[in-house]
């Protein structure tokens, strides 16, 4: 027969633990990454005029990347603290705890690169392209655009591709980590 658990003030207070914080942090990071990568961006792209969509992405992505960096750093710190094998076997990704730390490092590095390098370069290129469209009186993809516009289009496409690849890699690393902790638990130790 199943044991009936009752809620008490002490059982509610016990919810606020390192393990609970880890699970909430992971859920937040994964859900946010899923939304930005596959849902919110797609809706905005299909709904907004191109330049408004670009401006929206320019404003939301830095916030998304900062939150991603903060959450993945916190998760990595808690994971490493709770799994000492990460530090003693850090060059052995076949060790399960190390592989999970690598997944979090991959997420952190991808979002860090997007926030500090790729994103700003992409935005700068996009706004140059917007200005050139206004100066030439033509959209970036119309026939007869200038060689400068063609060059900007090429650079933008490359930067956007690299940014998307970094973000997709972060998403896949988080999915791997989520499947792991879903099947084997996070095993996060109390900090205090």
Domain boundaries, the chain: 10-184
Please give the pLDDT value at position 191. Answer: 85
pLDDT at residue 135 is higher than 90? yes
Residue-wise pLDDT for 143-160, tens only, equals 999 999 999 999 999 999
From the list 104, 113, 99, 93, the residue with the least C-alpha distance to 164 is: 113
Give, in degrees to the nearest 5, the angle at Cα 92 between 86 and 93: 85
The pair of structure tokens assigned to 151 is 């060059």
Per-residue pLDDT, 14: 86
Compute the average pLDDT of residues 65-85.
98
Contact indicator for 22, 83 with CB cutoff of 8 Å: no
**Cβ–Cβ under 8 Å, residues 74 and 108:** no
pLDDT tens for each residue of 7-27: 999 989 888 999 999 999 999
pLDDT of residue 89: 98
- Contacts of the segment 58-66: beta carbons below 8 A, 24+ positions apart: 58/123, 58/126, 58/127, 60/36, 61/36, 61/114, 61/115, 61/119, 62/115, 62/119, 64/32, 64/36, 65/111, 65/112, 65/114, 65/115, 65/119, 66/115
The percent of residues in the chain predicted with pLDDT above 90, rounded, is: 94
pTM of the model: 0.92
């Amino acid at each position: 027969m199943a044991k009936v658990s009752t809620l008490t003030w002490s059982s509610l207070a016990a919810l606020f633990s390192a393990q609970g914080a880890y699970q909430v942090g992971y859920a937040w990071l994964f859900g946010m990454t899923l939304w930005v990568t596959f849902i919110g961006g797609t809706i905005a792209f299909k709904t907004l005029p191109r330049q408004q969509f670009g401006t929206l992405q320019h404003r939301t992505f830095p916030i998304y990347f900062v939150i991603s960096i903060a959450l993945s750093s916190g998760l990595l710190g808690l994971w490493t603290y709770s799994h000492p094998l990460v530090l003693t076997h850090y060059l052995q990704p076949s060790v399960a705890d190390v592989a999970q730390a690598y997944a979090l490092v991959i997420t952190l590095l991808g979002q860090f690169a997007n926030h500090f390098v790729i994103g700003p370069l992409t935005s700068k290129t996009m706004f140059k392209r917007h200005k050139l469209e206004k100066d030439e009186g033509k959209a970036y993809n119309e026939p007869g655009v200038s060689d400068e516009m063609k060059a900007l289009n090429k650079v933008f496409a490359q930067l956007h591709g690299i940014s998307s690849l970094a973000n997709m890699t972060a998403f896949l690393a988080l999915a791997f980590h989520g499947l792991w902790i879903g099947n084997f638990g996070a095993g996060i130790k109390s900090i205090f």
